[in-house]
Amino acid sequence: MPSLGSPVKSQVKPPIVSLPFFMVDDKSEVDTLCGKLADAYDEFSTNFHSIIADSIHQGVVSNRYQIERVFSEWAFSRITGKASY
């Protein structure tokens, strides 16, 4: 029988959204993460069209928010080695 408690451990359906995030403990980890994101942004800018083509949007982005989402998901995967979706 499903539970309505928190956290949900007996959910019948899989979660709809999986949100990737970084856990950092101190300023040095924040600085390291910022450096990795800056490097990822440089690579994203250089390979923009091929990264967008391989994204969930399959090469069609119509606004800044979609580009930011593609970058965020791609950078998370690049930095952690894990798929973000």
pLDDT in tens, the chain (85 residues): 445 555 556 656 665 666 667 888 899 999 999 999 999 999 999 998 888 888 877 877 778 888 888 898 899 888 888 765 5
Q: How far apart are the first and last CA of the chain?
A: 28
Q: Which residue has the tokens 């999986």?
A: 18
Q: What confidence score (pLDDT) does residue 84 get?
A: 56
Please identify which residue in the block is written with the tokens 């970084």.
22
Please give the pLDDT value at position 57.
74
**Can you give the residue ranges of every domain in the chain?**
27-80
pLDDT of residue 42: 94
Taking a C-beta distance cutoff of 8 angstroms, is the pair 52, 59 a contact? yes
| Measured distance CA(84)–CA(31) in Å, rounded | 22
pTM equals 0.67
Cβ distance 15 to 85 under 8 Å? no
